[in-house]
Structure 1
Amino acid sequence: MQLVSVAALAENRAIGRDGEVPWPHIEADVRQYRERVAGSPVILGRRTFDSMLDDLPGSRQIVVSRSVDSVDVPTAVVADGVDSALERAEEIVADGDDSDDDTDSDDAVYVLGGGAIYELFQPHLDRMVLSHVTGSYDGDTFYPAWDRDEWTVAAETAYDRFTLREWVRSGDAA
């Protein structure tokens, strides 16, 4: 299983303000993000899950929460922490019901936030696919800092208003 963080972040690592992104809408970023995670399981926090209920990302959702035991969505399960979320992700990948051909990797599981979830899963990541948005923005939620010596940019694509970078963890420190 490959654990991959997906996020859009400003130059100051801001990812959110009052539950929304702090910059004006970037359609190309939303499109590439949705296409990337469409056929794969995703891990996200309860508040992020609740904010996406009208248009859930991914084929299966693993909701990390200590305050709820279940959610009323057939494709979603609740995990009470990192270890149980990773176990659920391994089970889903092993079941093989999420092997669409349009994903980067047949065994990718995507971490989608929010800020505390990114922080909790950071030590476990194999890759990060980050949309680096041009400019700094006021925010109340930030993507965690990472040691750039532990990561290498494997791919980079420039778009209008953001650059998409795929970071790969160097060595076996995942």
Structure 2
Amino acid sequence: MQLVSVAALAENRVIGRDGEVPWDHIEADVRQYRERVAGSPVILGRRTFDSMRDDLPGARQIVVSRSVDAIDVPTAAVADGVEAAIELARETVAEGDYPDETVYVLGGGAIYELFQPHVDRMALSHVHGAYEGDTRFPAWDDDEWAVDSETAYDRFTLREWVRREASA
């Protein structure tokens, strides 16, 4: 199983302000994001899940929450922490028809921070410009990560990051 963080972040790592993205809508980014996660399991926090209830991403949602133990959505399950979510993701991938065995981490900010030590890759839309916000994507050590691919779009650059092999 591969864990992959997916996020759009400004040059100053801002990802949100008052529960919304702080930049104007970028259709190309939303489209590539939706296509990426469409048939895969996703991990997200309860507030992010609640904000997406009308248009849930992924084929199966693993909601990380300590305040609820059940969600009234048939494709969603609740995990009470990182380890429980990772175990549920492994079970989901093993039981389902997910050929690439990828599980996407979709945020919010605290979820990205909690899962950062566990992710194998990051698919990050680097939005041009710096924005004011109250939520940031966690910093990462450039020595631990390398850009695997990069695609320029109008208003953002999509970078696929891979965790470097640990030296023996």
TM-score band w.r.t. shorter chain: over 0.9
**Contact residue 59 and residue 98 of structure 1 kept, 8 A:** no
1:10-49 to structure 2, matched below 5 A, reads: 10-49=10-49
SS of equivalent to 1:138: coil
Aligned counterparts of 2:108 and 2:29: Cα–Cα separation in 1: 17
Percent of counterpart pairs with the same letter?
Answer: 80
Length-normalised TM-score, structure 2: 0.98
Aligned counterparts of 1:167 and 1:25: Cα–Cα separation in 2: 24
Aligned counterparts of 2:75 and 2:119: Cα–Cα separation in 1: 23
SS of equivalent to 2:140: coil
After TM superposition, give the deviation of residue 172 of structure 1 in Å: 4.2
Aligned counterparts of 1:77 and 1:91: Cα–Cα separation in 2: 12
Length-normalised TM-score, structure 1: 0.94
What number of residue pairs does the alignment pair up? 167
1:1-174 to structure 2, matched below 5 A, reads: 1-99=1-99, 106-172=100-166
Aligned counterparts of 1:154 and 1:98: Cα–Cα separation in 2: 23
- Quick one: which amino acid aligns to residue 72 of structure 2? D
1:40-82: CA deviation from partner (whole Å, max 9, x where unpaired) = 0000000000000000000000000000000000000000000
Kindly report the root-mean-square deviation, in angstroms, between the aligned alpha carbons of the 2 structures: 0.9
Which structure 2 segments of 5+ residues have no match?
none
SS of equivalent to 1:3: strand
Aligned counterparts of 1:49 and 1:140: Cα–Cα separation in 2: 18
After TM superposition, give the deviation of residue 131 of structure 1 in Å: 0.1
**Contact residue 18 and residue 140 of structure 1 kept, 8 A:** yes
Aligned counterparts of 1:32 and 1:69: Cα–Cα separation in 2: 32
When residues 2 and 172 of structure 1 are mapped into structure 2, their CA distance, relative to the original with a 3 A threshold, is farther
Moved over 4 A (4+): none
**Contact residue 3 and residue 109 of structure 1 kept, 8 A:** yes
1:140-163: CA deviation from partner (whole Å, max 9, x where unpaired) = 000000001100000000000000
1:88-129: CA deviation from partner (whole Å, max 9, x where unpaired) = 000010013334xxxxxx110000000000000000010000
